[in-house]
A and B are shown apart, each in its own frame.
Chain A
Amino acid sequence: MDRPLGVPKAEFLDSVRRALDRKPAAPDPAYPRLLDDVSALQVEAKRIRARLIETRPALLDRFAEVAEAGGWNVHRTSDPENAMAHIQSVADSLGVKNAVRSDQEVFAQILVDAPLESTGISVTTVSHSPDRSRESLRSSIIAADIGLTGADYAVAETGSVIIMPRKGLSRLVSVVPPVHLALVRPEDLVESLDDLFLLRRLEYHDKGGEMGSYLNFITGPSRTADIEQTLVVGVHGPKEVHLVLLG
């Protein structure tokens, strides 16, 4: 059943127009942030990318500082072996038996499966296929002690890791297990929310209006202050979050 329920759209919009005393028309002048075409966005995106490369060292410092303040346990290294050793030590200290990870590019750079498995940890890559149903992958995620992901973006302004779930990148890997570990590459980093949303707008229009079903900002652990305004870490999401910054 796909037909809309409630009042028909035309009727609803008419009542809004009556309230505004307006005729059906686009805003005049057009809204600047909707006006620019793909080529204008491309010019702006190019400018942003050039700036990000130029300022990268300072940006990495800023991101590490803000992420730490936001509740991430940040480990910085540009050495893949050191990164792997750190991941191993986190897993050991938690007594991890089951790990799940997404299927992202960064895991071609940091090969986590073999070392973790050699210490007796079972590692599941969450990516469905004819042999592996979504249901069985979901059970692996529920059973996991840690979830490992990369980042699609990272925002220095807020210390956030941005994840855009799709094939190979589950929504649940970073929220269901009690611990989340994210690997962030220098090229994932943008300076501000403005950078992020402009780049996303360009990608959206480049793909003919495809946003992807989900985009999630993750900044530190799950938290609440709903009882007596007292901070508690780890309510429904991970209690502990680690960020390995590869640069």
Chain B
Amino acid sequence: MADIKTKDFSKASAVSILDPQLRRALRQVGTGFDAARRAAIDEVSPKLWDEWREEARRIKIHSLDHLDYYLDLLEQNVTKAGGHVHFAKDAAQANDIMAELVRTRNIKIATKSKSMVSEELSLNPALEAQGVDVYETDLGEYIIQLAEETPFHLVAPALHKTKEQVAQLFTDKLGIPYNDDINALAAAARLALREKFLQADLGISGANFLVAETGTLVIITNEGNGRLSTSAPRIHVGITGMEKVIPSLQDLAVFLRLLPRSATGQRITSYVSMITGPRRADDEDGPEEFHLIIVDNGRSKMLADPDLREALYCIRCGACLNICPVYQKVGGHAYGWVYPGPIGAIVTPSLVGLKEAQDLPQASSLCGACREVCPVNINIPRMLLHLRQKSAESPDPSERSAGLVPNLLAEGYTRVMRSPALLSASHKLGRWQQNVWAAMPFFPFSKKGGMIRKASLPLLSRWTRMRDLPELPKETFRDIWKKDLKEGP
């Protein structure tokens, strides 16, 4: 599996927040992607949009509730079309299947269109270990492959890079003259990759959807790299998570309406490719072999948990990233694994374990924007709360997000808030202490207009590091109520 750096979330976030270039790039996800998404929804009418969302959700609920049946049907129909289906329970097994395929077929060069699952599995190193040269061909993925990084965003993997950085990267890695014109950079990638498409023995793709009825793999792309990867080489291997299956060809329509609009605001992408088995005997071109690798890698655990099953409805449009106040500040790399943003904060702990990623569900203000924009109406905030609860109540201390002291403080806080007598006593104690401080020749904390200024309180300094804290008022509301308000004005 891909390297897991989720434990560094807080540290990595603090670094990202102070990076002015990331600030600029992230500001654009709101003005660019999300504005385009909103315009696309206004065009179809919000009412119709909600009907589509409900339909998509119903399809996903049904498909996942009967996943075994539809995987079986899918396998039968892929096989009937002349393809081969392989099932992998985890990342190691998926990579082994791929290794076996490239070994037995003497594969030297592979081109790959964008696949988040292959990032999850760390498929490229596994192929390279077999002596295969693997080329990412989506422009964003190609950039991060050259830079040896992970995707920053589900839809735009190299969102964090400036054109100057890309130009320097191309100069360093491809040996071409420096030119930071974006059109020229795309042309350079076209030139470098065109020959790879034509030389490749193997084309690898992910899948946006799998249609059980017909045994069809569907990919949704804009650049044309997906078409070339699945048409030019002599073998095509699709690799994807088991949750991508939908029952009928007719179910695809609503997803083709929702996904491009939610991702980039497009009515439809430049290309939608539907692949059913290898080329037929009479076809002019296309791969001689078609393989489909279906991966579990922790998904059955999510399926088994009724509180998390919903996360498997995700169609990876990235809308929840673009709207999220946390993602917009910390960016994709801070999340420490393959899937960033609100949906990543659910998928990652579920797939790699809460022990590794207990901080991610905390990385949310629970504002609910992610749920509002989700094209499948996934209740992300509910699942974040569920994971927080699991983490807080876990008997295993390594699964808990907070340490012993914060836990004790929270426990104390709970008790005080539950008891009017204790709450009132704590107010008295607090005010008494404030009076003691006020009577001192020098007030120990910086103060202004009834506020204790940030970064001046010991003990509570994590709370006040970034913001001022109001002083306790001289009277509580209960006091005022008793004295002045109870009788009415």
Please report A residues at the B interface, Cβ cutoff 8 Å. Answer: 1-2, 4-9, 11-13, 15-22, 24-27, 31, 33-34, 66, 69-71, 126-128, 134, 137-138, 142, 158-160, 165-172, 175-176, 192-194, 196-198, 200-201, 204, 209-230, 232, 234-238
Contact = CB atoms under 8 A, between A and B. Distances in A.
Contacts of B227: 171, 175, 216, 236-237
Contacts of B366: none
B198 interface: yes
17 contacts: A4-B85, A5-B97, A6-B293, A9-B85, A12-B87, A12-B296, A16-B296, A160-B272, A166-B283, A210-B81, A214-B230, A222-B271, A226-B140, A226-B157, A228-B162, A235-B223, A237-B228
Interface string B68-84: 11011001010011001
Given A16-B71, A27-B66, A201-B250, A224 B186 contact: yes
A236 B190 contact: yes
A137 B286 CA distance: 13
Contacts of B138: 226
Contacts of A138: 285
Interface stretch (B209-217, B371-379, B408-416, B477-485): B209-217
Interface stretch (B88-96, B334-342, B348-356, B467-475): B88-96
Contacts of B85: 4, 9
B88 A6 contact: yes
Given A9-B85, A226-B157, A31 B68 contact: no
Top 7 A-B pairs, shortest CB-CB distance? A237-B224, A226-B140, A33-B248, A236-B224, A217-B272, A12-B87, A193-B253
Given A175-B224, A201-B213, A25 B267 contact: no
Contacts of A167: 282-284
A204 B213 CA distance: 10
B161 interface: yes
A126 B278 CA distance: 19
Contacts of A210: 81
Nearest to B293: A6
Interface residues of B, number: 103
Contact of B62 (A27, A158, A168, A200): A27
B268 A228 contact: no
A12 B89 contact: yes
Contacts of A215: 216, 273-274, 276
B370 interface: no
A35 to B, nearest CB: 9
A169 B77 CA distance: 24
Interface string B231-268: 11000000000100001111111001100000010011
B75 to A, nearest CB: 6
A213 B87 contact: no
B242 A70 contact: no
Nearest to B67: A16
Contact of B283 (A6, A165, A222): A165
B328 interface: no
Contacts of B301: 19
Interface string B284-311: 1110000001101000110110000000
B327 interface: no
A33 to B, nearest CB: 4
A222 B223 contact: yes
Given A213-B280, A237-B227, A192 B253 contact: yes
Contacts of B100: 5
A178 B444 CA distance: 73
Given A27-B69, A201-B213, A218 B270 contact: yes
A167 B86 CA distance: 29
Given A34-B248, A217-B271, 12 more contacts: A5-B101, A6-B293, A9-B72, A26-B69, A216-B274, A223-B223, A225-B32, A226-B139, A226-B140, A227-B143, A235-B224, A236-B224
B212 to A, nearest CB: 8
Max chain B C-beta neighbours (<10 A), residue from A5, A18, A31, A230: A5
Contacts of A25: 69
Nearest to B300: A19
A167 B286 CA distance: 11
Given A9-B87, A226-B156, A213 B272 contact: no
A120 B480 CA distance: 96
B32 A229 contact: yes
A159 B277 CA distance: 27
A204 B249 contact: yes
Nearest to B186: A232
Contacts of B62: 27, 31
A171 to B, nearest CB: 4
B65 A171 contact: no
Contacts of B162: 228
B250 A158 contact: no
Nearest to B197: A236
Contacts of A128: 284
B165 to A, nearest CB: 10
A225 B156 contact: yes
A15 B296 contact: yes
Interface in B143-167: 143, 156-159, 161-163, 166
A236 B88 contact: no
B304 A20 contact: yes
B419 interface: no
A126 B224 CA distance: 20
B324 to A, nearest CB: 17
Contacts of B75: 9
Nearest to B162: A228
A42 B478 CA distance: 74
Contacts of A160: 268, 272
B137 interface: yes
